[in-house]
Amino acid sequence: MIKLFSLKQQKKDEEGSARAGGSQKKASAAQLRITKDLNELNLPKTCSTEFPDPDDLLNFKLIICPDEGFYRGGRFVFSFKVGPNYPHEPPKVKCETAVYHPNIDLEGNVCLNILREDWKPVLTVNSIVYGLQYLFLEPNPEDPLNKEAADELQSNRRLFEQHVQRAMRGGQSCFDTPLGCESLRDDIQVRADIGRQGNAHRTRIAYCCYVRSLIASSKNYKVMQMSSERFYTRGNQKTIHNFNKL
């Protein structure tokens, strides 16, 4: 009842401003619809919203803190940007938290069908919230944006879980962890675990972790930049191409 009143009051205020010749801009169709969606939002207990600008309902954040599954104990922030064509076009949603996930890439793009071809104007923000929450409960390796994570989830769930946990501890995947954040012992163990899989690609990735830890123990070097993307595209020959002397 209170929510319905707020919509009616907003409309009444707009009409009053128009009659008084006020300079207040009339709310757009997208603004009216997103106001309705947010008023009717029924968040799961693991989710919350934040509005950096309380007067701007078209840009907000969703925080998901899973309480089960691989990502239990994590905190993942998604930005929502609602365009002028909403609800005929879905909001633009990005993950702002670095995460090791088959359906979220390094740029934060999210692979969720209702954010793409399956979007319909009858769907709401609530639909997206539950879709994102489900991605953390049941990652989908069949439709990946991060193919390495998807392959690992299917072939070695234990190793996948290790990489997820490392990402949540440092906000990055183990391939992108800054030097000094992981112990040499842990990296050697990961190297051994992956090597036993007989997969040359994963062995190279593990070797990258191993080399990174070795260099971390030296005061003569530091990492200026390292990303899994550059490592994948440039190959093992460039494992330490971006390591510079102090």
DSSP H stretches of helix in 98-141: 125-137
Contact criterion met (CB below 8 Å) for 146 and 104: yes
Using CA atoms in the order 209, 211, 215, 217, what is the torsion angle rounded to 10 degrees?
70
DSSP-assigned beta bridge partners for residue 243: 223
Distance CA 112, CA 186 (A): 33
Residues in the chain: 246
**Pick from 21, 27, 24, 23: which is nearest to 8 by CA?**
27
How many C-beta atoms lie closer than 10 Å to residue 128's C-beta?
22
Peptide bond into 87 cis (omega under 30): yes
Instruction: Please identify every residue annotated as catalytic.
Output: 111
Q: What share of the chain is helix, strand, coil (3-state, %, to 5)?
A: 45, 10, 45
**Pick from 89, 82, 92, 94: which is nearest to 120 by CA?**
89
User: Which residues, including other chains, have CB under 8 Å from residue 54's CB and lie 6 or more apart?
Assistant: none
Q: What would the two tokens of residue 143 be?
A: 């439709």
